């Protein structure tokens, strides 16, 4: 019987080169690998193609997402860049509105240069997605829940449309992680991760992943991967692999903390609305005034005012000035990303300490 996901996190992929009994995968800090003879290979030739530490990490992430292959990148944006190279002049991508700001920046400023257009809409509205598909549409890119407005998309529902119209369905699964959502099992073709967030989990390394469901797509992505070269280093692969060992227990604690904090925020008189999807650790909330929001950022002590999310340390950000600063103001406003909105990434500290810190900051 296949192992459950908590076990996969710890034992996802053994080091197939292990002759010592080491219980963890070593850092193979090698750029190149010697060949036994003419035309022969140990299976490793050059670390841009594959490295044993990265391979163990990739096999682990592929197992967690139930894909046939996973590629580990130097960041989530590197993974996104390679993904967009599947498309060319005249192609159209339908994407969730209020995507991660960096993804919008890439699609609108870099991918667009190659003649690829992006149509943004609320992918939670399946009828709107169906209506937006044209002969040029090649893919639907879904982030669920979205960042920071927590819009939810039913991946299975969108996958039906994609299958009918022969579109690639890609899901950014950074927020929920495979612990709470496995998009490939819901009909998606590929999954993207910022491994910098929950997978790595310790705010100490950048990483990104693309996971493919079937070998044909994996082969196309592998070709782009080795050609473009934005691969994860052996050391960062080791750190991410180590982070993943505790993913299941971190997510359990983070969700418990986040539920408690979201419930408490709803009772605070200076908090006007709270967006929390019920799982994982991302909470967006609106304060009564922009001053309150700015005061919180300057006053928190245990919670750190810093960009990023998904680590053991709780972080708070100001989307209007940080993650979404490059999103055009009218689009930002339309999604409710204004100067009263704060985004909290709940960590694994004691929930009562976090509440006390937020309480003092909101005074």
**Four-residue CA torsion sign, 149, 155, 161, 162:** positive
Of 55-63, 71-79, 179-187, 252-260: span binding ligand PLP (CB under 6 A): 71-79
Integer-rounded Cα Rg, in Å, for the chain is 21
Report if residue 77 touches ligand PLP, rule: CB under 6 A.
yes
Report if residue 147 touches ligand PLP, rule: CB under 6 A.
yes
Q: Which of 6, 30, 102, 253 binds ligand PLP (CB under 6 A)?
A: 102
Catalytic choice (54, 59, 182, 197): 197
Number of DSSP helices (H) and strands (E) in the chain, helices first = 13, 12
Report if residue 240 touches ligand PLP, rule: CB under 6 A.
no
3-state secondary structure 189-245: CEEEEECCCCCCCCCCCCCEEEEECCHHHHHHHHHHHHHHCCECCHHHHHHHHHHHH
Task: Give the nearest distance from C-beta 118 to ligand PLP in angstroms.
Answer: 15
Q: Which of 55, 65, 91, 143 binds ligand PLP (CB under 6 A)?
A: 143
Q: How far apart are CA 203 and CA 212, in angstroms?
A: 26
Report if residue 75 touches ligand PLP, rule: CB under 6 A.
yes
Of 5-13, 191-199, 289-297, 347-355: span binding ligand PLP (CB under 6 A): 191-199
Q: How far apart are CA 25 and CA 244, in angstroms?
A: 13
Token pair belonging to 353: 């300490």
Token pair belonging to 195: 């491994």
Nearer to ligand PLP, 142 or 265 (CB): 142
Let me know if 48 is a catalytic residue. yes
Report if residue 281 touches ligand PLP, rule: CB under 6 A.
no
Of 31-39, 168-176, 182-190, 209-217: span binding ligand PLP (CB under 6 A): 168-176
Nearer to ligand PLP, 92 or 240 (CB): 240
Contact 169, 144 (CB under 8 A): no
Task: Give the nearest distance from C-beta 89 to ligand PLP in angstroms.
Answer: 25
What residue spans of 66-194 are helical by DSSP H? 76-84, 101-109, 126-132, 155-165, 177-180
Q: Which of 12, 52, 67, 76 binds ligand PLP (CB under 6 A)?
A: 76
Strands (E) in 256-332, as ranges, are: 271-275, 282-287, 304-305, 315-317
Task: Give the nearest distance from C-beta 50 to ligand PLP in angstroms.
Answer: 21
Nearer to ligand PLP, 52 or 151 (CB): 151
Nearer to ligand PLP, 180 or 264 (CB): 180
Q: How far apart are CA 311 and CA 281, in angstroms?
A: 10
Residues that bind ligand PLP (CB under 6 A): 75-77, 100, 102-103, 143, 147, 172, 174-175, 194, 196-197, 206, 208
């Amino acid at each position: 019987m296949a192992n459950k996901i908590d076990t996969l996190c710890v034992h996802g992929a053994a080091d197939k080169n292990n002759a010592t009994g080491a219980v963890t995968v070593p850092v193979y800090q090698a750029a190149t690998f010697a060949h036994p003879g003419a035309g022969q290979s140990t299976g490793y030739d050059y670390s841009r193609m594959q490295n044993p530490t990265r391979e163990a990490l990739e096999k682990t992430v592929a197992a967690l997402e139930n894909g046939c292959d996973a590629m580990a990148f130097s960041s989530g944006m590197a993974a996104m860049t390679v993904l967009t190279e599947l498309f060319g002049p005249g192609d159209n991508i339908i994407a969730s509105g209020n995507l991660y700001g960096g993804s919008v920046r890439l699609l609108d400023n870099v991918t667009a240069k190659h003649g690829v257009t992006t149509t943004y809409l609320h992918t939670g509205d399946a009828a709107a997605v169906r209506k937006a598909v044209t002969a040029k549409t090649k893919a639907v890119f879904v982030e669920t829940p979205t960042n920071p407005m927590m819009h939810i998309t039913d991946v299975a529902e969108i996958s039906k449309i994609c299958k009918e119209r022969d579109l690639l369905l890609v899901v950014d699964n950074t927020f929920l992680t495979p612990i709470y959502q496995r998009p490939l099992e819901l009909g998606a073709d590929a999954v993207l991760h910022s491994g910098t967030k929950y997978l790595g989990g310790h705010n100490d390394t950048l990483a990104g992943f693309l996971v493919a469901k079937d070998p044909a797509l994996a082969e196309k992505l592998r070709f782009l991967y080795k050609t473009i070269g934005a691969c994860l280093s052996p050391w960062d692969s080791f750190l991410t692999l180590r982070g993943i060992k505790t993913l299941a227990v971190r997510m359990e604690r983070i969700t418990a903390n986040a539920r408690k904090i979201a419930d408490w925020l709803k009772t605070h008189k200076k908090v006007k609305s709270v967006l929390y999807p019920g799982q994982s650790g991302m909470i967006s909330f609106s304060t009564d005034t922009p001053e309150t929001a700015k005061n919180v950022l300057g006053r928190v002590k245990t919670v750190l005012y810093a960009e990023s999310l998904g680590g053991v340390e709780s972080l708070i950000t100001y989307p209007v000035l940080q993650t979404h600063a490059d999103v055009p103001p009218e689009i930002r406003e339309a999604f409710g990303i204004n100067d009263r909105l704060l985004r909290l990434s709940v960590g694994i500290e004691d929930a009562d300490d976090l509440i006390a810190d937020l309480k003092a900051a909101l005074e």
